Amino acid sequence: MSRRRIIALLFTATMLVGTPLRAEVDAQVVFTEARDLYQDKQFDAALAGFEKALATSGSPNARLYLARCLRELGRVAEAYEQLSTTRTEAASRALEEPHYATTRDVATEELRQLEPRIAKLIVTVPASVTGVSVTIDGSVISEARLGEALPLEPGQHELVATAPDRKPVRSTLVLTAGRTKNVPLFITGPGPAGPDPDKGPVSGSDGGSSLRTTSFVVGGIGIAGIAAGAVFGAVALAKKGDVEDNCDGLACNAQGAEAAEDGNLFGNISTVGFVVGGVALATGLTLLLLSGDDDDEARTWSQRRHAHWHPAQPLTITW
């Protein structure tokens, strides 16, 4: 192998080895500068530096200081998240690099100190439900984190839960520092043997309102029938008087015979009126009573349709 080729190979090897070394050195320089800014209480500038150092090196120490910057800037929930990640990463790295055990322990202690300053929210959904999407203040909560205690800033937050073929539910939560709240979300909807809540209650009628209307109509017919029976009954009684005046035993003059015939007719009409009217009136009362049951079903369906999703707690929760 020629001398020129050997020099070229050595140069290439140096470059390949030197590139990660230079990146590590650069990350250390950025970290040191950011730490100086942190000590000078220039937390915004220091935060940007630690973010850059973390992106380059992945060092748990850079993440620890990043969390401290967030804490000093009042972003305590984000700080808590970063400290949690720091503790996990440092514990893993400490198995081969023991000096990270100190970082792990420091992160654990600073997490404990932050506990009284943050609120935590646990959002749970039934395991059988799929396609659930939950956001808090517009940020999507991954499905893997549903059921975990999520650190949040104390104060008001907007929770939105959606699922396929369901209307989204919006819930206002007012969280208190140092407290953890569990908010279960339930889905109500059509089951394999039940009615579809989006289509309303299964019924042979149009619901309680139209059943009530029908009861009034049928009841009105019943009242009219009874009234007609009373009128024709009165006329039949009047004809009976004419018969008595114009008949002697079985012999009647023309006026008596006509009165007898009319009396029989009006008496029969009166009887039919009373019978039909009584039946219709009883039917109307029955329908009126049944309309109350349909109203209860309609109200139940309405509540189910408008609450496909609902938190187990009231929409505005304070603790």
DSSP sequence for 22-84: HHHHHHHHHHHHHHHHHHTT-HHHHHHHHHHHHHHH--HHHHHHHHHHHHHTT-HHHHHHHHH
Among 209, 158, 201, 149, CA closest to 179: 149
Least confident of 87-91, 125-129, 178-182: 125-129
Read off the pLDDT of each residue in 124-136 and give the average, rounded to a whole number.
Answer: 84
**Torsion angle, CA of 226/228/230/236, rounded to 10 degrees?**
-140
* Per-residue pLDDT tens digits for 75-118: 999 999 999 999 999 999 999 999 999 999 999 999 999 999 99
- Selected residue with higher pLDDT from 59 and 129: 59
- What span, in angstroms and rounded, lies between the C-alpha atoms of 86 and 61? 8
- Asked if pLDDT for residue 175 goes beyond 80, the answer is yes
Among 8-17, 93-102, 275-284, which range has the highest average pLDDT? 93-102
Q: What is the pTM of this model?
A: 0.54
- Asked if pLDDT for residue 286 goes beyond 90, the answer is no
Q: Give the DSSP letter string of 98-109.
A: TTHHHHHHHHHH
- Selected residue with higher pLDDT from 192 and 124: 124
**Torsion angle, CA of 189/190/196/198, rounded to 10 degrees?**
20
The per-residue pLDDT for 296 is 52
The per-residue pLDDT for 212 is 72
CB 33 within 8 A of CB 52: no
Amino acid at 227: A
Residue in the structure block whose two tokens are 């309309």: 291
Average pLDDT of the chain, as a whole number: 76
- What span, in angstroms and rounded, lies between the C-alpha atoms of 138 and 160? 8
Query: What Cα–Cα distance (Å) separates residue 166 from each residue in 39, 138, 277?
Result: 52, 19, 49
Q: Are strands 251-252 and 247-248 parallel, antiparallel or unpaired?
A: antiparallel
Read off the pLDDT of each residue in 145-169 and give the average, rounded to a whole number.
Answer: 89
Three-class SS of residue 131?
coil
The per-residue pLDDT for 290 is 67
The per-residue pLDDT for 262 is 66
* Per-residue pLDDT tens digits for 201-255: 444 444 456 767 876 776 678 688 788 768 777 776 776 777 677 666 556 666 6
The per-residue pLDDT for 293 is 53
Among 171, 142, 169, CA closest to 156: 171
What's the pLDDT band for 279 if we cut at 50, 70, 90?
A: confident
CB 264 within 8 A of CB 278: no
Give the pair of three-digit tokens for residue 135.
């956001």
